[in-house]
Amino acid sequence: MDTITTDSAEWIAGLSVETLNSDTDTVFRRLRDTAPVTWIPALHGWAVTSWEHCRAIAMDAENFRGGTNAMEARLFGQPLMLGAEGDVHQDLRTAVSEQLSPRSFKDRLESHIRPLARDHVQQIIDRGSAELMTDYFEPVSVLAVADSLGFSDLDSDTLRRWFHTLAAATVNTPDETGGFADPHGFDGADGVRAEVRAYLEGVREREARTPGAERAGKLFRNGMPEGELREVEYVLPTVLLMFLGGLQEPGHACGVTFLGLMSRPEQAARVIAEPRVLNKAVAEGIRWMSPLYGGASRTAAHDVTVGDQQIAEGDHVWLIYGSANVDEAEFADSLSFDLDRDRHPHLAFGVGRHSCVGSAFAPQAARIALEELFAAAPSIRLDPDMPPAPMGWMFRGAAEIHTRWDR
């Protein structure tokens, strides 16, 4: 590692959340080069930006426990699968993991997800243009995940509103006084919490009345002794987390994969001609621009040394997986999208006990959505008059992807 110069130290101390969001690639590349493990005052925690250190910390259950910072605790509540450990962590994963397992969703991909994607493509195909995130990727994504969890009675507009409202609250960082930068920054999210609580109360009441009658009831009964159900307040924080981090995964995987392919027209043409290559394209897309760029974290369980830095017990540690996935020490020509890249594990879904429970489902839902889009509009291309502008250090991607195709 390079020695941190005075200039670099001053630059790190002066980093703001706004800069992390707007200049993400530049900032984290410089951190990888000069300070792969460093304290960032604006984040009130450490940022770990290299593949080696991110993976090591994620796998180190002895020195690092699940991470929940002040913002996440305020936004979601407790207990939260993201930060829980031991029996509570395992129980919360049990509540949702079956519904997102390959055995559970395999048949639903063709019977539910593909018709859903095909129907949404047909709604836009005659236009000859679309803003893909709003018109296609996000609606298909939220409905696909909701279908798998059993929340199929929720409509796309509600699900997307919940996601975007929760996402807006994540920028409300703690301040030096122990409060938050915006005193009202969680107001919208609190409203969503109330809506989700009411929805879950209805699901639980129906499950108690008619056990096993609906898929959504598995959230309360999976792994529980016969006749017992989890309480709404116990699962609510994790469901809110899934509405934020889970609903967007297939759609944002679609978005970054699409942008990656558009950056390599010859590879896009290959994928359109050979849809079987899409699995590889999605894997490369989420490596190239990881949608959950820096949202994973840990808390130091003990004083511990990582690289040449001393991390104190209780310190918050951000694992910048999106930076790790373009670490030049691991991936040649790392900032380029390349279908023919040598196989190498990425960290887009994390690794170890806190890896994403939707890591199997999201790529397959994304694959189907892209297959249907390319089959219907093989001439699809970016609109040169409205180029995409990816941004964000916690969640990364383009908020809008404007496209055209020949009718």
d(CA 288, CA 398): 13
Query: What was the pLDDT predicted at 136?
Result: 97
Q: What CA–CA distance (Å, rounded) separates 379 from 406?
A: 6
Q: What is the pLDDT of residue 54?
A: 97
Distances (CA, A) of 383 to 142, 291, 307, 402: 25, 22, 44, 5
> Residue 397 and residue 256: Cα distance in Å, rounded?
6
pLDDT digits (tens, 9 = 90+) for 48-85: 999 999 999 999 999 999 878 888 889 999 999 988 99
**Per-residue pLDDT at 2:** 46
Which structural domains are found in the chain, ordered by start?
Answer: 6-404 (1.10.630.10)
pLDDT digits (tens, 9 = 90+) for 90-114: 999 999 999 999 988 888 999 999 9
Q: How far apart are CA 62 and CA 351, in angstroms?
A: 15
In the structure encoding, which two tokens stand for residue 162, read together? 């919940």
Within 309-400, residue ranges assigned H as helices are: 321-324, 361-376
DSSP string across 304-340: EEETTEEEPTT-EEEE-HHHHTT-TTTSTTTTS--TT
pLDDT at position 72 is 87
**Per-residue pLDDT, 5:** 67
Model confidence over 292-349: pLDDT tens digits?
999 799 999 999 999 999 999 999 999 999 999 999 999 999 999 999 999 899 999 9
Q: Which range in 164-173, 227-236, 294-303 is most confidently predicted, on average pLDDT?
A: 227-236
Element (H, E) at 237: helix 232-241
Cα–Cα distance measured from residue 156 to residue 138, given in angstroms and rounded to the nearest whole number: 8
Residue 1 is predicted with a pLDDT of 41
pLDDT for 4 equals 61
The sign of the torsion formed by the CA atoms of 183, 42, 30, 359 equals negative
3-state secondary structure of 292: strand
Provide the percentage of residues in the chain whose pLDDT is more than 90.
Answer: 82
Is pTM, for the whole model, over 0.95?
Answer: no
Whether 383 and 321 have beta carbons less than 8 Å apart is answered as no
252 in Cβ contact with 88 (< 8 Å): no
